[in-house]
């Protein structure tokens, strides 16, 4: 557990939506620190992407990761960086600190900014571990006490290699677009914590957590996220993600094109619905007489698969259910 006085920072480059490994660092920092800085490491123009910072901010807000100060841009502190470099020169321990155009490299800007913002703990991936000794020496050479460095394992692909941003679910934006609730992504990252070793990305685990997260949402919240009236929520409860829930909502809200179906099944179903039978009773009674539940589903939704049939009946107003059955009779 971090002390209240701990000060941490999350410092991504503005290269677009966060890689899931960077998101792990963000969540780990927020969980550790009493105070957190959001710093944009944009000293290398070649890596900066238009809209990259906006994508990062959107990802952090979606994940529920809040910061106390920032975004601070390293590119706006170059005069301070050059001033610090005068104490040690353009090179230190054989490493370039200032480029020929006078702009600072990552090593100089990072060490100076960590010192100026009073960062006490630097929490980042193992790919930065080789920089630890250099950064500590540079900090002391500049007259600063270096922060405590902590490194966590990386999130790798199934092949054990670096997880490409193009891989399924490898960015926060792709998870959001896939309909994964933010609670599921955040829960997965919190489960990982600060892994001592590299881990394989477990998208299947995130999908399982998504089911749990949707089940835990109150009716009104689930309806709001799907963009549907609360009346359709009974049909959404079996969805595995928000995209599937939206698809289920469309089944309820959009009348299907009438299809050919078993008239005996539909007639019996109509009799039960009109008589006020509960949704589960309708399904049970139709099934008991050997009715074709596929026909009833097609009449109500136009599809052979979807939410539980009783949930469809619960979500549809009785008059609308009767109208759809009549259209196929």
Q: What is the pLDDT of residue 242?
A: 98
Cβ atoms of 92 and 141 within 8 Å: the answer is yes
The string over 260-299, giving b where at least 16 C-beta atoms fall within 10 Å of a residue's C-beta and e elsewhere, is: ebbeebbebbbebbeeebebeebbeebeeeebbeebbbbb
DSSP codes joined into one string, 10-71: E---SSSSPBHHHHHHHHHHHHH-SEEEEEE----TTT--TTHHHHHHHHHHHHT---SEEE
For residues 296 and 273, give the distance between their C-alpha atoms in angstroms, rounded to a whole number.
12
Rounded to the nearest 5°, which phi and psi values hold at 242?
-70, -30
Tell me if residue 104 falls in helix, strand or coil.
strand
Q: What letter does residue 178 receive in the DSSP assignment?
A: T
Three-point CA angle 7, 12, 13, nearest 5°: 145
First to last CA, the chain: 66
Interior angle at CA 252, CA 250 and CA 255, nearest 5: 90
- Phi and psi at residue 51, in whole multiples of 5°? 80, 5
**Confidence (pLDDT) at 79:** 97
Cα atoms found within 13 Å of the Cα of residue 156, Cβ hemisphere only: 14
- The predicted pLDDT at position 1 comes to 47
Domain residue ranges in the chain: 1-216, 219-253, 263-328
Report which of 200, 162, 154 is spatially closest to residue 28, judged by C-alpha positions. Answer: 154
CATH superfamily of 1-216: HUPs (3.40.50.620)
For residues 185 and 175, what is the distance between their CA atoms, to the nearest angstrom? 8
Residues present in the chain in total: 329
pLDDT given for residue 130 in this prediction: 97
Task: Give the closest residue to 299 by CA, choosing from 247, 250, 257.
Answer: 257
pLDDT tens digits along 216-236: 999 999 999 999 999 999 999
b/e map 139-158, b = 16+ CB within 10 Å: beebebebbebbbbbbbeee
Ranges in the chain, pLDDT < 70: 1-4
Q: With CA atoms as reference, report the closest residue to 10 among 79, 75, 56, 54.
A: 56
| Torsion of Cα atoms, 8 then 9 then 10 then 12, to 10° | -150
Ramachandran category for residue 145: left, alpha or beta (phi over 0 → left; psi -120 to 50 → alpha): beta
Instruction: Give yes or no for a contact between 173 and 55, defined as CB atoms under 8 angstroms apart.
Output: yes
Write out the H or E segment, with its range, that includes residue 132: helix 132-141
pTM: 0.92
């Amino acid at each position: 557990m971090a002390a209240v006085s701990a000060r941490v920072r999350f410092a991504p480059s503005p290269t677009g939506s966060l890689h899931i490994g960077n998101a792990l660092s963000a969540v780990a920092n927020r969980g550790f620190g009493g105070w957190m800085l959001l710093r944009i490491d944009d000293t290398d123009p070649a890596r900066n992407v238009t809209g990259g910072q906006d994508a990062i901010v959107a990802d952090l807000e979606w994940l529920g990761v809040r910061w106390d100060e920032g975004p601070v841009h390293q590119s706006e502190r170059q005069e301070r960086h050059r001033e610090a470099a005068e104490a040690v020169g353009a090179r230190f321990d054989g490493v370039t600190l200032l480029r020929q155009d006078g702009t600072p490299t990552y090593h100089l800007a990072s060490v100076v900014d960590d010192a100026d913002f009073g960062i006490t703990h630097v929490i980042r991936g193992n790919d930065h571990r080789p920089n630890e000794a250099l950064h500590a020496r540079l900090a002391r050479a500049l007259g600063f006490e270096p922060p405590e460095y902590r490194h966590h394992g990386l999130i790798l692909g199934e092949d054990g290699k670096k997880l490409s941003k193009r891989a399924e679910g490898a960015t926060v934006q792709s998870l959001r677009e896939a309909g994964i609730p933010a609670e599921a992504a955040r829960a997965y990252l919190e489960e990982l914590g600060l892994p001592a070793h590299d881990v394989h990305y477990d998208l299947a685990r995130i999908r399982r957590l998504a089911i749990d997260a949707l089940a835990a949402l109150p009716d009104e919240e689930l309806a709001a996220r799907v963009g549907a009236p609360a009346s359709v929520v009974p049909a959404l409860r079996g969805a595995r993600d928000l995209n599937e829930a939206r698809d289920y909502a469309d089944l309820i809200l959009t009348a299907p094109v009438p299809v050919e179906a078993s008239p005996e099944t539909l007639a019996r179903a109509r009799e039960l619905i009109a008589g006020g039978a509960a949704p589960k009773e309708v399904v049970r009674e139709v099934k008991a007489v050997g009715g074709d539940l596929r026909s009833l589903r097609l009449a109500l939704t136009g599809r052979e698969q979807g939410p539980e049939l009783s949930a469809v009946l619960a979500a549809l107003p009785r008059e609308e259910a009767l109208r759809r059955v009549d259209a196929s009779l």
